[in-house]
Structures are given as C-alpha cells and as structure tokens.
Structure 1
Amino acid sequence: MESDRSDTGRVPGCYRHPDHETGIRCTRCERPICTDCMINASVGFQCPECVRSGSGTGHVAAANTARGIAGGVVVADTALVTKVLVGINVAVFFAALLAPAVLVPLELLGRYVDYLGGPLEGVSTGQYYRLLTSVFLHEQWWHIIGNMTALWFLGAPLEAALGRARYLAVYLLSGLGGSALVYLLTPPNMPTLGASGAIFGLLGATVVLMRRMRYSMRPIIVMVLLMLLLTFVPIGGIGGTGEISWQAHIGGLITGALVGLGMLLPPAGAGKRRALVQWGTCAAVFLLVVAVVLVRTAELV
C-alpha cells in the first residue's frame, strides 16, 4: 500500500472516482485507488484493472501481464522459490547427517593447512564455490530450524513483492556478501557455514520494502535490532567454531539492503530503465563481492 500527496499538498483522487480522495496506491501500477476499488493482495492493494490484466490473450495479455511493485510477474504460487530454498537446505542437512564428510569440502574455509603434510585447501586456493555452498549447510537441528523458520516468514512475503527472479537474486547475493565478509575478517582456518547471511539479506531488503510501501517502520526496526542483539550474544553451536558468525550477518544485511534499494527504488514509470537499474545494481554488488574476495586472497596466497 502506498500513501501519497501531490506537489500542492492535496491528497490525489481515485483514478476511477476522481472525487474520492485517497492515500492508497495500487502496488502494481501505482495509480491512486479508493477503498471502493482496492483489492487485497499478498502485499498491499491492487486496482481492478491490474487484477484482471492477466486474463487476456495474445499480445494484449503479454502487454498487460500483472506485475508487482518491483516489476516481477505476479504468479499463482508467490512462495515457490522460498519453498525450493527451504527444501534444498533441509535435503543437504539430512544428507550431511547420513554422510558427515559431505560438509567438509563445502563449508566456507579461507585456507586449511594439513600439518601432516597434506595440501592447502580453501577459497584462497581457488575453491571459490565454498562462498556459496556454505550458505546451504547446517550442523545442528536448532540451527536449521531457526534459519528455515526465519527464511519462511521473511522470504515468502518478500518473494511475493519482488517476484521470483529478483527475490532469488537478493537471496544469493546476500549469501555471497555474508561469505565474503567472513572470508575477509576471520582467520583462514576457521570453518563457517549456515544460511544466516542470506536470511539477514532478506531482512535488509524487507526494511527497504517497508519503507517503499510507507508501512510503519517500528516492527521491522525492532526485528533488526533484536536479530543484531542475538548476533552478538553467544549462544553456541554454529559451524565448527561454536560461535555465531557476526561477519556473515552484517555482510548479508548490508548486501540485502543494497540490492533491495536497487530493486525497489526505481518507479514503475521508468520502464526499461528500471530493469537496467535493478540488474545493474546486482552486477555492481557482485563485483564488489568479487573485489573483497580477491583482496583477501592476495593476503593469504
């Protein structure tokens, strides 16, 4: 839901009923809509035309495809990607229970020296895949239950707002951003794993979404402060260190907020330029992650 005033300070009228002043906007086309016209949606409200826009055929249907606030196509199952991500995390968790050795080559590790004479291993030796695979790993029951619960409650609404592709970009880039900060700031022989960085990225993007929709910021700010407090209060049991990786949390939070800004700030009227800004932001954030990784690798080689 959007709230707005014109440059003159007057509340605009509904596009269907100009004499009805309203502070509500359609989350798809951003036209003012009154309470008689607004239709409840997964995020905010929509106008009747946008709700009906997916029922046409041919070129008309393609041109009028229903889209969300970030330009993503509105689909029937608005939480499909979130379900798939939860499924992958759970599947990997049970695979690791059956074969614990699965974790070792996938967890985030800057560099490990086998003092019995084995080779160097880790991101610094070219195993860059660890930056992403570690995001899907968990060791303890409480760890995966907590992360997957947070993923569901944060991810499903955000996916509905952003659309599948944009939401997945936020998740993966946030995971990489969290891993990059861990790689930069932790000892190279400290193993790290968990989806927390990606989840904190969803939290950062949710803050941007709440601001964009002009919702009350108090609940989300309280959530951010609570999660940051838990980040710096040791409760044990994460990864091989038994400690919470605050680097992953902070890195993911910042990355998610940056990508969220790129996804949500460009207005719908920007047309193709909006997509250019959105995916350009993703590319810029990815290059920033690459730069951090290369700087740390140069220190360790």
Structure 2
Amino acid sequence: MVEDGPVCCYRHPDRETGIRCTRCERPICPECMISASVGFQCPDCVRRGASAHTRQRTIAGGVVAQDPFLVTKLLIALNVAVYALELAVGRRIADDLGLGAVCQPKGLPGRQCAGVADGEWYRIITSAFVHDLPPNFTHILFNMLTLWWIGGPLERTLGRSRYLALYLVSALAGSAAVLLLDPGALTFGASGALYGLFGATAVFVKRLNYDMRPILILLAINIFFTFTWPHVSWQAHLGGLVGGTAVAIAMFYAPRERRNAVQWGTTVGVLVLSLVLSVIAVAQVTS
C-alpha cells in the first residue's frame, strides 16, 4: 500500500520523517527515535516493554522483585530490634507481648484475667517477635538463621506480598493452637511462623517434583526437637505447620485462571479460622 503525501511523526504531526518504529511501525521523528537492538523504537513501545519487564512473575504469580530477600531481611531486623529492646528493658517485654490467656478460678471475689483473656488481642501476633533472654541466646539465633535459610528462598519463589501473608498467617495459626491447647502458658518466639515456612517449602519441593527426602528429614529433625527439648511449645509448631501448609498448597497449586482468588481466598480463610478458634479458646478460659 502506498501512502499519499508526506509521512509525519505520530507524536509531532508537523515533522516529516522516513523512519518507523520497528515494533509498532508508526512514523517517528529523530527526537522520538530510541535506539533498539534492531532499528529504532518509539517512546510508547519502549515504555510498554519496560513495564512488561517489571511485571515478570514467580511460579506462584508474585511479582519478581529487584531485592528478592527484602521482606526476610526486614523480619529479621524487626525480631532483632525487639530482642535488643528486651536486653535493654528486661523480662517485662516478654511478659507484655507474649501469648497467654489466664483467669482466676470462677467464683473467686475480684476475679481477674490476664493476657489475651483480658482483651490484649495484639499478643497473638506480637508474641511471634519476642524471644528468650540470655543465657538462652540459641532461641533467637536458631530462629533467625532458619528464617534466612528457609524464608529467603520462599520469598523469592512466592513474591513479597504472598510470602509476608504466609508468614503472618502461620504465626496466627500457631497462636490459635496455643490458645486452644495450652492457653495458660506464656509462650513467645517465631517458631510457629517458621514451621509454616517449613510446610510451605515441602509443598514447593513437591510442586516441582524435586527430591522430597532432604526437606522431610529436616522437618523430622525439627519435630523431634519439638517434643524432646524442654520449654518448647509444640502447640505453636503444630498450628504454624498446618496453617502454613494449607496456605502454601493454595499458593503453589492454584489454577492460573483463578490464581488470585484461590490464593487470597485460602489465605483469608486460614486467617479467619485462626481468629475464630482463638476467640473460642479465650471464651472457654473466661467462662
């Protein structure tokens, strides 16, 4: 097809040109020409190409970030910051932020309740950022090393928002299990959330048909220590593992055409279930 008359730049109609964008084939003047690997491209095509590049997706549909470990670094920094505050202030931080729901026996005059049973619901999440004070440095040390080794690769695989949702929901599921099974104990630590990451890692390995033996052996070792080491809340570990695994199954196995609905619907479902179970547990303590 032969065009009649002079050809002008699509962005500057008063400028004649003989150059066209190699992608959209619209005429462009020297001011609009942007060098490409082959020929020149117009500003609109270059913008669209850059936008498409930034929207690269992970296997779970998350956005590929420039720093794929940012959330993990921030979670570690937050845990360490709270621990530094504990070192400065003392045991009272664990007492104020740890998980527990207790009431004096029913019928006592001036009956008092403490913790979540006294309406301090923030403890179901703040307890996941508190750790044991010295001489038990191993509590925060092992948890932060695990968060880096297990959490970092998961963040890169899931994307930031899905990874953060997995972590927090796992922590809440762990708190719900504690309130249901051992409400009177003062518990704290990131282990509930970390067991959720263990479960998610197992789901991811299965999803890609990798060898399951290494992650299963690692999980078995951690479960062994859960039931053999003193002062370990197996309830939080179990709750976090179940909640994190459920969310991870939705993250990694959701059909592409309904991926967001399945992923976030399941995440919200586990979150709501954890909160409902927590409310039921606390109601039993205060009744």
Same fold (TM over 0.5): yes
Is there any run of 5+ residues in structure 2 with no aligned partner, and where? 1-44
Q: 1:99 aligns with which of 89, 94, 99?
A: 89
Correspondences of 1:79-118 after superposition (within 5 Å): 79-100=69-90, 101-111=92-102, 113=104
Aligned to 1:52: none
Q: 1:230 aligns with which of 219, 225, 228?
A: 225
How far has the Cα of 1:98 moved from its partner?
0.7
Distance in 2 (CA, whole Å) between partners of 1:116 and 1:145 is 44
SS at match of 1:103: helix
Contact 1:82 1:159 in 2 (8 A): yes
Structural RMSD (CA) = 2.0
Q: 1:59: how far off? A: 3.8
Structure of higher CA gyration radius:
2
Does the CA contact (< 8 Å) of 2:103 and 2:111 recur in 1? no
CA 1:277/1:61 → structure 2, altered by over 3 Å: closer, same or farther?
A: farther
Change (3 A) 1:136 1:213: same
- Percentage of pairs with the same residue: 43
- Structure 2 equivalent of residue 58 of structure 1: 47
Per-residue Cα deviation, 1:135-173 (whole angstroms, up to 9, x for no partner): 000013110001001111000000000000000001000
- AA partner of residue 277 (structure 1): V
Give the equivalent residue in structure 2 for 1:165: 161
Rounded Cα–Cα distance in structure 1 between residues aligned with 2:96 and 2:223: 29
Structure 1 gap ranges (5+): 1-55, 237-242
Match of 1:216 among 202, 208, 211: 211
Residues 1:180 and 2:176 are matched in the alignment: yes
Residues 101, 113 of structure 2: 8 Å contact kept: no
Cα separation, partners in 2 of 1:71 and 1:231, compared to 1, 3 Å: same
Deviations 1:7-45 (A, max 9, x none): xxxxxxxxxxxxxxxxxxxxxxxxxxxxxxxxxxxxxxx
**Structure 1 residue 117: Cα displacement:** 6.7
Answer yes or no: is the 8 Å Cα contact 2:83–2:131 preserved in 1.
Answer: yes
TM-score by length of 2: 0.78
Q: How does 1:1-301 map to 2 (within 5 A)?
A: 57-63=46-52, 65-100=55-90, 101-111=92-102, 113=104, 119-139=112-132, 140-186=136-182, 188-234=183-229, 236=230, 243-268=231-256, 270=257, 273-301=258-286
Count of paired positions: 235
- Cα distance, 1:258 vs. partner? 0.3
Post-superposition CA distance 1:51-106 (Å, at most 9, x none): xxxxx743444345211001111112111100000010011011001102222111
Q: How far apart are 1:205 and its partner, in Å?
A: 0.5
Closer, same or farther in 2 for the Cα pair 1:141/1:61, shift >3 Å?
same
SS in 2 for 1:74: coil
